[in-house]
Homo-oligomer: A and B are copies of this chain.
């Protein structure tokens, strides 16, 4: 339903653009949401973008601007006069302005900072100092600050006077003269209290806050855990310097999950959306892991070469290599994916390693026996293999599953412990290790049970 409506809107807009009905276009866009207008601006021809953008009312223009992709933003800025640029920058919240400055090339950044008023420029520069993955880099400095000795009525008046440019007025922060945080007060508390009650009497004193230097992913997970909609950020001297709001947290979680998934798929994270990234950029993000994995597969090849004689004697053993390697890889990836996701949403920690191992061992034995029994039956009944050869393959399968699950669950935990990203320890990496181990097991058992000379 909403989808159809959006599609209709966007088609209508496109036809207005093509037919140059600019007056109707302005009216139509005035009733639309910034995200939808941004989507239309992504689709239309490059040279039309500045023209259409100029039809938007000031506030909506700024909102639409923040929702656009960086290449179109750059395009727009190039076409702006200084006063047009100033109008947009004035309407941006500080955190959105920072995002913009981080993405634009140096010469554009200079223009943006020159147009920002001195106060805003100072705030932008403050936030730019924080490292990319820190909480400081995603906070905004526009929040409502109250004093503990204000009355509820004072506070509401203060919000009416100063709140218009604040990112949220639903949660307000009570500080002393040195900006040390004393408590928080929500709009709900203000509305449901008597007008002459002092803020200090109604504020919540137990405040959970983040440090500017903390990892933004960790803070985002806390945020979700506590069902917050905003969270204060303090510096090393415990002074309130900004707040993080839920919209930025959701973006961080989406981005971090995408990065995790990319790493789990043996890809170095992309900076831009897939469709906006050039084939060469994508190539560069994928080739390093392919090289590493190809080279490590050479070890598996070496194992096969070592057992060349055994294999020529019993070529039936070769036919099972893909099944053994495949099953080992799948079992390992099941375990590693489970543990990696558990780690990243905070459900599993390194201290759970024994619990995880014990669980995975039992799961491995169950899976291994089930697979080995079915496989044994298939080899004897369908493939007419001898019992001994079938037994070699099935025992290998069982051991393979157990090794794969143990390796699959421990490597991500160890990676996390020693400060590596556990997502890197996902399927492709695990598969390569398990491949080599399972072939070694395979041939050792074959040599032992079938009495083949190496």
* In the bound complex, CA of A206 to CA of B27 (Å): 13
Contact of A267 among B279, B302, B334, B378 (CB under 8 A): B334
Contact of A431 among B35, B159, B188, B326 (CB under 8 A): B326
Contact of A352 among B266, B275, B331, B370 (CB under 8 A): B275
Determine whether the beta carbon of B318 is less than 8 Å from that of A311: yes
Determine whether the beta carbon of A333 is less than 8 Å from that of B265: yes
* In the bound complex, CA of A207 to CA of B319 (Å): 62
* In the bound complex, CA of A452 to CA of B200 (Å): 89
Residues of B within 8 A of A336 (CB): 265
* In the bound complex, CA of A169 to CA of B289 (Å): 50
Determine whether the beta carbon of A291 is less than 8 Å from that of B208: no
Chain B proximity of A171: nearest CB distance (Å)? 10
* In the bound complex, CA of A249 to CA of B224 (Å): 11
* In the bound complex, CA of A205 to CA of B31 (Å): 8
Contact of A374 among B280, B291, B431 (CB under 8 A): B291
* In the bound complex, CA of A371 to CA of B3 (Å): 43
Please tell me if A257 contacts chain B, counting CB pairs below 8 Å: yes
Please tell me if A148 contacts chain B, counting CB pairs below 8 Å: no
* In the bound complex, CA of A308 to CA of B311 (Å): 11
* In the bound complex, CA of A150 to CA of B31 (Å): 23
Please tell me if A395 contacts chain B, counting CB pairs below 8 Å: no
Please provide the chain A residues from 352 to 373 with a CB less than 8 Å away from any CB of chain B in the complex.
352, 355-356, 359, 362-363, 366-367, 370-371
Residues of B within 8 A of A12 (CB): none
Please provide the chain A residues from 363 to 410 with a CB less than 8 Å away from any CB of chain B in the complex.
363, 366-367, 370-371, 374-375, 378
Determine whether the beta carbon of A3 is less than 8 Å from that of B218: yes
Determine whether the beta carbon of B321 is less than 8 Å from that of A322: yes
Residues of B within 8 A of A249 (CB): 250
Name the residue of chain B whose CB is nearest to the CB of A34. B226
Please tell me if A445 contacts chain B, counting CB pairs below 8 Å: no
Q: In the complex where A246-B246, A315-B312, A342-B274 touch, is A293 in contact with B327 (Cβ < 8 A)?
A: yes
Determine whether the beta carbon of A286 is less than 8 Å from that of B367: yes
Name the residue of chain B whose CB is nearest to the CB of A192. B164
Chain B proximity of A439: nearest CB distance (Å)? 7
Residues of B within 8 A of A290 (CB): 327, 330-331, 334, 367, 371
Residue-wise interface mask of A (299-338) relative to B, using a CB-CB cutoff of 8 A (1 in contact, 0 not): 0111011001001100110111111011101110110111
Chain B proximity of A354: nearest CB distance (Å)? 12
Chain B proximity of A361: nearest CB distance (Å)? 8
Residues of B within 8 A of A326 (CB): 293-294, 297, 300, 431-432, 435
**DSSP majority for the A interface?**
helix
Contact of A258 among B293, B345, B439 (CB under 8 A): B345
* In the bound complex, CA of A1 to CA of B164 (Å): 33
Please tell me if A44 contacts chain B, counting CB pairs below 8 Å: no
Please provide the chain A residues from 247 to 269 with a CB less than 8 Å away from any CB of chain B in the complex.
247, 249-251, 253-254, 257-258, 261-262, 264-267
* In the bound complex, CA of A81 to CA of B136 (Å): 48
* In the bound complex, CA of A266 to CA of B266 (Å): 17
Interface 9-residue window, one of A99-107, A115-123, A209-217: A209-217
Please tell me if A450 contacts chain B, counting CB pairs below 8 Å: no
Q: In the complex where A1-B214, A192-B160, A250-B253 touch, is A300 in contact with B318 (Cβ < 8 A)?
A: no
Name the residue of chain B whose CB is nearest to the CB of A285. B334
Residues of B within 8 A of A264 (CB): 261, 264, 337
Footprint of B on A, CB under 8 Å? 1-3, 31-33, 35, 156, 159-160, 163-164, 169-170, 187-188, 191-192, 205-206, 208-211, 214, 218-219, 222, 224-227, 229, 246-247, 249-251, 253-254, 257-258, 261-262, 264-267, 273-275, 279-280, 282-283, 286-287, 289-291, 293-294, 297-298, 300-302, 304-305, 308, 311-312, 315-316, 318-323, 325-327, 329-331, 333-334, 336-342, 345, 347-348, 352, 355-356, 359, 362-363, 366-367, 370-371, 374-375, 378, 427-428, 431-432, 435, 439
What 10 A-B pairs have minimum CB-CB distances, sorted nearest first? Answer: A265-B337, A279-B362, A300-B322, A297-B323, A283-B366, A301-B319, A297-B326, A304-B319, A31-B206, A227-B247
